[in-house]
Amino acid sequence: MRDPRYDVLFEAVPIGPVVARNRFFQVPHCNGMGYRDVTAHAEMRAVKAEGGWAVVCTEQAEIHHSSEITPFIEARIWDEQDIPALARLTERVHHFGALAGIELAYNGMNGSNLASRVAPMGPVHLPVATFTADPVQARAMTGKDIANLRRWHRQAVDRSLRAGFDLVYVYAGHALGGIHHFLSPRYNQRTDEYGGSIENRMRLLREILEDTVEAVAGRAAVACRITIDELLGPGGISREDIEAVLGALGETPDLWDFVLGSWEDDSVTSRFGPEGAQESYVAGLRALTSKPVVGVGRFTSPDTMLRMVRQGLLDFIGAARPSIADPFLPRKIEEGRLDDIRECIGCNVCVAGDFTMSPVRCTQNPSMGEEWRRGWHPEHFRRVTAPARVLVVGAGPAGLEAAQALGKRGADVVLVEASRELGGRVAKEARLPGLAAWRRVVDYRESQLAQLDNVEHFFQSAMTADEVLAYGFDHVAVATGSSWRADGVGRWHTLPIPTAGLAVFTPDDLMAGARPPGGHVVVFDDDHYYMGGVVAELLRRDGYAVTLVTPGLAVSAWTVNTMEQTRIQARLIELGVTLACSRTVLAGASGGVVTACAFTGRESEIACDGAVFVTGRLPEDSLAADLAARSDDWDGAGLRSVRAIGDAHCPGTIAAAVWEGRRYAEELEASTEDSDETPFKREVTALAPGEQ
Ligand code: ADP
Ligand code: SF4
C-alpha cells in the first residue's frame, strides 16, 4: 500500500461548496473529440475518474456560436441541445467518485468563426490570433457586446449546472480564453474603462467572475484559469499585473488555476523544458489568496508533487499530459505501485491530435481515445480465450507493447531481440539531443515485463524463418522495425536520386555512431517531423558546419502540431545551422549537392563533404516475407498466424508502433485487418426531423 510520505497527496481538499477527494486534479485539456465524439470523450474522462483523479475537467467548451474555433473540435455548450452530451460525461465521471469541471470559454479574437460566420470580437480591432492565421479580423467590442457576453456566460453557467458539473471555470489563460486578451496590454489598447491600467484591464474578468459566482449560487465551485506571466515583459501580462489581479480578486473564485504564457509555453515538450518548468513563476502567488491553487508542470514524480504541496506552491497537482499517459497515476501512488506509473515523455503527440482534429492519441498510452470505440482500458486486459504461445520478434515499441499486453492477457510470450538491449528505435533515439525522456517508453514496458512470469525475453537472437518454424509457436508477431532510406526517396522524390561520389548517411547510421567525413554536412529533410532538426542539432553540436535543406516552408514543419516548430527553428538558428527552406536536393556528387528552389525549380549547388538524408523509411519485413513464403510448412509447425506490426508493417511514429502492438495483442484471436466491418464503434450525427 501507499508510502505514508505521500499521505498529504491524498488529503481531501474543499473547493468552495464541493470537496475534492484528494489533490490530483486533471486540468482542462483538448482531445480532438469534443462535440463530435461525444461518448468517446465521456468514456475517456471516466477512465481518469476511475484512475483516482479527484477532479476531471473538460477541455475548453465554447459558450456561444459567436465564438467558435472551427476547424478544431472542442466541447460546446452553445445552447440546450448540447446539454445531453455533457450530462453523459458528468454522469460517467461521477460514477467513479470524481468531481466534474467544465472550462467555459469565449475565445473572442482567438477564433475565426469559420462555421458560424459571424465577426469575432475582441478588445480592439485586430486580425484574429489563431494557429491557422485565417484572413479574419476581430472587431472591437462595444458596451452592448460586453453586456451580451456577460449574459451569454451566465446562461452557459446555468446550462453547465443543469449538465451536472461541480466546478465551472472562467477561462482567462493561454491567450485562448478571450478574457486573457482584455487582461493583456499586447491585445488591449482600449481607451475606455476596460483598457489602460490593470484595474481597467481586469474589469471584464471581475465582472464575469462575479456574475459566475452569483449564477452558481453555491451549487458548484467557481475556478479561474489565468495566465500568470505572458513571458513578454511589460508588453504582456506581467507578474505585477497578476499580483494586482490576485490582490483585487484573489478571494472571488473558489480556486485559482495558474498557467504560464501561451499554450505552447505551458505545454512545453521535454525537448525544450523540464518537469516543473512553471515553478519559478508560480512561486509566491499562493500567498496572495486563501483559495486553493492548482498548477501544472508535467508532474509524474510523486516526490516532486509532494514538494509542490509541502513548499506551499500548490494545493492541487494539476495534470493534463501525465493524466493522458497514465489515467491511473493517482491510484498507482495510492497503492504504492510507483514502478507501474507510465510516465509522460513530453512529446506532445496528444496535442497533435487536437491540432489535426483527430481523436487524442498518446505515445505512452495506446488506449487513450480508444476507451469507448474499441473498448481498450489502460490497465485492464481481457483474458485470452484459449491458451496461446506467441513469439514476438523485435523489442522496439511495437514488440514491447505487444509482449506486455499479451502477457497481461495471459498468453505465453517469448520476446526475442537481435541486439543487446530492449527498445529498438526508442532506445536509440533517446540518445539524440533533447530526446532523453523518450526512454520512458522502454522503461515502463521493461518494468511490466519483469512482473510477468509468462513473458520471457532473449537478447542477441536474430530470428530466421527456419528458427521460428522450429519452435512451434501458435502465433508470431514480426516487430522488426524499419530503416531510413539512403536513396533520397520520400515525399519530394518518389524515385531514387543520383548520389554517386557523395558520402550519404541516414539517421540510422548516425545513431549507430557513424559520422560523415570532412567538416560540412548537408542534411536533407523531406520527412518534416522531428528527425531532420534533431540530426542537424546533433551534427552541429559535434562541430560540423551544417546546412539543413528542406522543401518545407520552415524546418520540421509538422512540429507545428506538437507546438515545437518555432522553438526548433530558433534553436537551429542559435546553433548556427544554415537553413535552406523551400529547397530540395536534386542530386549528390563528389564535393556537394545540387539543390533546386521548391517553387521555381531554379538550381544552385551547395558544397559539402557528406550528406544525411532524412526522407522515407522501408519496413524490415524480410522475416515476415520469408515466413509467408513458407506457409505450406505452417500446419506442420503448429503455426496459425504471422503478422508484421509496427514499423515492420508500415513505418510510422513511435505512438503508431505502440498502438499497433496493443492492437495485435487485443486482436490475437481474430484480427480485424481484413474485416469488411468497421472495427470500432462510432457515433453518427442524429438527423434533424425532415421537412415534410
Ligand atoms: P518498431 O518501432 O516497429 O517497434 P523498432 O525498429 O523500434 O520497430 O524495433 C525493431 C527491433 O527489432 C529492433 O530492436 C531490432 O534489433 C529487432 N530486430 C530486427 N530484426 C530482428 C530479427 N530477425 N530477430 C530479432 N530481432 C530483430
Ligand atoms: Fe505525454 Fe506524449 Fe502521451 Fe502527450 S502523447 S501524454 S506528451 S507521452
**Over the stretch 592-632, which tens digit does the pLDDT of each residue have?**
999 999 999 999 999 999 999 999 999 999 999 999 999 99
Nearest to 421 by CA among 458, 387, 452: 458
Residue 378 C-alpha to ligand 2 middle, in angstroms?
14
CA distances from 510 to 204, 432, 550 (A): 55, 10, 19
| From 48, 364, 438, 444, mutation site for ligand 2 pocket: most ligand atoms within 8 A of C-beta | 364
Q: CA 581, CA 559: separation in Å to the nearest integer?
A: 15
Mean pLDDT, rounded, for 468-484: 97
- Cβ pair 287, 312 in contact under 8 A: yes
Residue nearest to atom 6 of ligand 2 (CA): 321
Q: CA 151, CA 638: separation in Å to the nearest integer?
A: 70
Give residue-wise pLDDT tens across range 391-449.
999 999 999 999 999 999 999 999 999 999 999 999 999 999 999 999 999 999 999 99
3-state SS, residue 136: coil
> Residue 143 carries which side chain, given as an amino acid letter?
G
The alpha carbon of 475 is separated from its chain's Cα centroid by a whole number of angstroms, namely 33
CA distances from 606 to 379, 546, 597, 611 (A): 53, 11, 13, 11
| From 459, 461, 480, mutation site for ligand 1 pocket: most ligand atoms within 8 A of C-beta | 480
Residue 480 C-alpha to ligand 1 middle, in angstroms?
3
30 belongs to the catalytic site: yes
Grid coordinates standing for 684?
Answer: 453518427
Residue nearest to atom 3 of ligand 2 (CA): 362
The pTM for the full model equals: 0.97
Residue 290 C-alpha to ligand 2 middle, in angstroms?
33
174 belongs to the catalytic site: yes
Residue 396 C-alpha to ligand 2 middle, in angstroms?
18
Grid coordinates standing for 530?
Answer: 522531428
Ligand 1: residues within 6 Å at CB? Answer: 393-399, 416-419, 424-425, 461-463, 479-482, 620, 623, 646-648, 657
Nearest to 480 by CA among 619, 349, 385, 308: 619
Mean pLDDT, rounded, for 170-196: 96
Residue 148 pLDDT greater than 80, yes or no: yes
Nearest to 682 by CA among 38, 212, 181: 38
Q: CA 129, CA 108: separation in Å to the nearest integer?
A: 9
Closest atom of ligand 1 to CA, residue 622: 23
Residue nearest to atom 1 of ligand 2 (CA): 344
Question: Of 41, 174, 475, 493, which is the active-site residue?
Answer: 174
Closest atom of ligand 1 to CA, residue 464: 23
Residue 596 C-alpha to ligand 2 middle, in angstroms?
37
171 belongs to the catalytic site: yes
Q: CA 93, CA 56: separation in Å to the nearest integer?
A: 7
Ligand 2: residues within 6 Å at CB? Answer: 321, 324-325, 344-350, 362-364
Grid coordinates standing for 203?
Answer: 474589469
Give residue-wise pLDDT tens across range 649-688.
999 999 999 999 999 999 999 999 899 999 999 999 889 8
Confidence band (pLDDT; 50, 70, 90) for 690?
Answer: confident
Q: CA 14, CA 21: separation in Å to the nearest integer?
A: 9
Residue 461 pLDDT greater than 90, yes or no: no
Grid coordinates standing for 531?
Answer: 528527425
The size of the chain, in residues, is 692
Q: CA 215, CA 232: separation in Å to the nearest integer?
A: 35
| From 47, 266, 321, mutation site for ligand 2 pocket: most ligand atoms within 8 A of C-beta | 321
Radius of gyration of the chain (CA): 27
At residue 692, the pLDDT reads 62
As a whole number, the mean pLDDT across the chain is: 97
Helix pair angle (83-95, 143-162), 10° resolution: 50
Q: CA 285, CA 282: separation in Å to the nearest integer?
A: 6
Q: CA 221, CA 345: separation in Å to the nearest integer?
A: 32
The alpha carbon of 525 is separated from its chain's Cα centroid by a whole number of angstroms, namely 23
DSSP symbol at 463? -
Residue 398 C-alpha to ligand 1 middle, in angstroms?
9
HSE, CB side, 13 Å, CA atoms: give it for residue 428.
19
| From 31, 48, 356, 363, mutation site for ligand 2 pocket: most ligand atoms within 8 A of C-beta | 363
> Residue 62 carries which side chain, given as an amino acid letter?
E
Mean pLDDT, rounded, for 525-550: 98
Ligand index nearest the alpha carbon of residue 656 = 1
> Residue 570 carries which side chain, given as an amino acid letter?
A
pLDDT over 90 for what percent of the chain? 97
Question: Of 171, 281, 444, 664, which is the active-site residue?
Answer: 171
Q: CA 320, CA 339: separation in Å to the nearest integer?
A: 20
Torsion angles phi and psi, residue 509, rounded to 5? -60, -45
Residue nearest to atom 8 of ligand 1 (CA): 481
Grid coordinates standing for 626?
Answer: 520469408
Closest atom of ligand 1 to CA, residue 394: 12
3-state SS, residue 415: strand
Q: CA 551, CA 322: separation in Å to the nearest integer?
A: 35
26 has which bridge partners?
56, 319
Closest atom of ligand 2 to CA, residue 324: 6
Give residue-wise pLDDT tens across range 529-539.
999 999 999 99
- Cβ pair 173, 257 in contact under 8 A: yes
At residue 277, the pLDDT reads 86
Residue 356 pLDDT greater than 90, yes or no: yes
Q: CA 101, CA 90: separation in Å to the nearest integer?
A: 8
Mean pLDDT, rounded, for 212-227: 98
Q: CA 443, CA 525: separation in Å to the nearest integer?
A: 30
Nearest to 658 by CA among 646, 673, 671, 670: 646
Residue nearest to atom 22 of ligand 1 (CA): 462
pLDDT over 70 for what percent of the chain? 100
- Cβ pair 339, 444 in contact under 8 A: no
Q: CA 248, CA 301: separation in Å to the nearest integer?
A: 34
At residue 505, the pLDDT reads 98
Residue 642 pLDDT greater than 90, yes or no: yes
CA distances from 675 to 94, 544, 670, 679, 680 (A): 36, 51, 10, 7, 11
At residue 83, the pLDDT reads 98
Residue 691 pLDDT greater than 90, yes or no: no
More reliable by pLDDT, 240 or 690: 240
Ligand index nearest the alpha carbon of residue 391 = 1
